[in-house]
């Protein structure tokens, strides 16, 4: 009797919650070229993850895309209903420069990235970490010159 009830319960659950039966692979991609150029990400030493409710915000490692030197991806099985909005962010774990979450890169109050889940799997468009798509540069050297001759002559400056 217990066996029949447990089988019946399983059948009911799978009929009312069909999204629980099939995981759908979603591929997340991030371009790290600018972060590498400015020294915020070192591919040899740092950890790169995507975090969201699909992994309890604890992180799934990304790996380099074949043929690329700066685009990383992770395919994650997600169990959700079609059309569900899913938030996520990319994360750098670095022993030398500390942990770094993306800042407020998405729309809405949370600042998270988001996408609408589609059954059948999907590949999300590649994005730049922290939406930084150009190298801001290392700065510009500026030299100031001031003529202090009059102040020195009048002994107003020592």
β-strands 100-101, 60-61: how paired? Answer: unpaired
| Alpha carbon distance 15, 78 (integer Å) | 18
pTM of the model as a whole: 0.73
Judged against a pLDDT cut of 70, whether residue 15 lies above it is answered with: no
Angle at 152 between CA 148 and CA 157, to 5 degrees: 90
Query: Cα angle vertex 70, ends 68, 74, to 5°?
Result: 85
pLDDT band at residue 61 using 50, 70 and 90 as cut-offs: very high
CATH of the domain at 39: 2.60.40.10
Residue 127 belongs to a domain: yes
With contact defined as beta carbons under 8 Å apart, do 105 and 10 qualify? Answer: no
Q: Decide if pLDDT at 87 tops 90.
A: yes
Domain assignment present for 13: no
pLDDT of 18 > 90? The answer is no
Which pair of tokens denotes residue 139?
């700065």
Residue 38 lies in a domain: yes
Q: Is residue 126 a part of any domain in this protein?
A: yes
pLDDT at 5 over 70: no
Number of domains in the chain: 1
Taking the C-alpha atoms of residue 58 and residue 30, their distance in angstroms, rounded to an integer, is 18
Query: How many C-beta atoms surround the C-beta of residue 105 within 10 A?
Result: 17
**106 pLDDT exceeds 60?**
yes
Given pLDDT bands bounded at 50, 70 and 90, which one contains residue 64? very high
**Which range marks the domain in which residue 33 is found?**
23-153
pLDDT tops 90 at residue 14: no
For position 20, what pLDDT does the model report? Answer: 52
The mean pLDDT value of the chain amounts to 85
For residues 33 and 64, give the distance between their C-alpha atoms in angstroms, rounded to a whole number: 12
Kindly state whether residue 9 falls inside one of the protein's structural domains: no
């Amino acid at each position: 009797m217990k066996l029949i009830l447990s089988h019946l319960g399983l059948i009911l659950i799978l009929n009312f919650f069909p999204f629980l039966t099939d995981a759908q692979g979603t591929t997340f991609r991030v371009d790290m070229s600018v972060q590498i150029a400015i020294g915020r990400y070192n591919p040899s030493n740092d950890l790169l993850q995507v975090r969201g409710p699909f992994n309890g915000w604890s992180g799934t490692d990304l790996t380099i895309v074949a043929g690329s030197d700066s685009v990383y991806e992770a395919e994650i099985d997600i169990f959700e209903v079609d059309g569900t909005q899913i938030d996520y962010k990319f994360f750098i774990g670095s022993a030398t420069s500390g942990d770094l979450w993306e800042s407020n890169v998405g729309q809405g109050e949370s600042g998270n990235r988001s996408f609408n889940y589609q059954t059948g799997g999907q590949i999300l468009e590649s994005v730049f970490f922290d939406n930084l798509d150009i190298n801001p540069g290392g700065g510009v050297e500026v030299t100031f010159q001031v003529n202090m001759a009059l102040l020195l002559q009048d002994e107003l400056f020592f």
